[in-house]
Structure 1
Amino acid sequence: MTATDPALTALANGWAALYLLYGRIEARIERALQSQHALSVREYSLLSVLSRQHDGEGGHLQMKQVADAVALSQSATTRLVTRLEDRGLLSRYLCPTDRRGIYTDVSDAGLKLLREARPTNDTALREALDEAAKNPELAPLVTAVEAMSPTR
């Protein structure tokens, strides 16, 4: 069976191909990040999102916003934050203007790990896309992903 089985509708074919591409990319990045940095794709994504916060207006994300940014439930995001905090990669503190809010910052160790892992992530992503581009069912999706890059 191929990613785009003729028995499926056109929309289902597109979703199946997209899901296949996503799975291949995620698996390749996961292997690379785990083997070289002891970091999962989800952990990398969370560190990356949180590293872009700033002290200006609206610069810190609430946990729901973080969860949305990494495509996880709030409870899964909280567990992930706790794991990274236990590893010394993040810290949490109360929002100074709303004591109900909890913010999360990436520690110096987390920023260092993220800097070290970014080239690994980018290389694995490029390799996964290059491999997928050889598959006629996935090539149009690879082209679409590449077209979204601001450097193109």
Structure 2
Amino acid sequence: MSPPALPTPPFDRDAARRLREQLGMGPEHVARTMRASYGVDVPPETITDWERGQHSPTGPELQALAGALWCGPDDLLRAPSTLLEHRWVRGLTSADLARLAGIPPKDYDRLERRNRWTGSAAQTAALGAALGLSPPELLLLTGHREA
């Protein structure tokens, strides 16, 4: 049995291709920059696969790709829709977000895996502040919109 696939950020392949082309770089240039400047070794074919939507970069790959393309990681992401995606966009670790929301890290990890928020009102407010969410965004993310 193979291990479960790791989740990946909500990668925007069109934005990555557009940014690369605006810089006049080919996939081989991006791969070389990622390796030389960030220590992330991916072949040019992987860059092409990302841009075709066949695969998505992992968190560390996304960081290196953003650096190679002279942009922020959030410039390479679609609008986040899950707890995990919102955390990635903000560049927070799960332990950091758990601390900011006032939740034990083990409990936060469980909530993130299930993508089902059950925190208290105070924890919900702290989560919204940590993620920089507007009240409507926070209600949608936590599933409390109906309430």
How does the TM-score come out when normalised to structure 1?
0.26
Higher relative contact order (CA 8 A, sep 6+): 1
Structure whose alpha-carbon radius of gyration is higher:
1
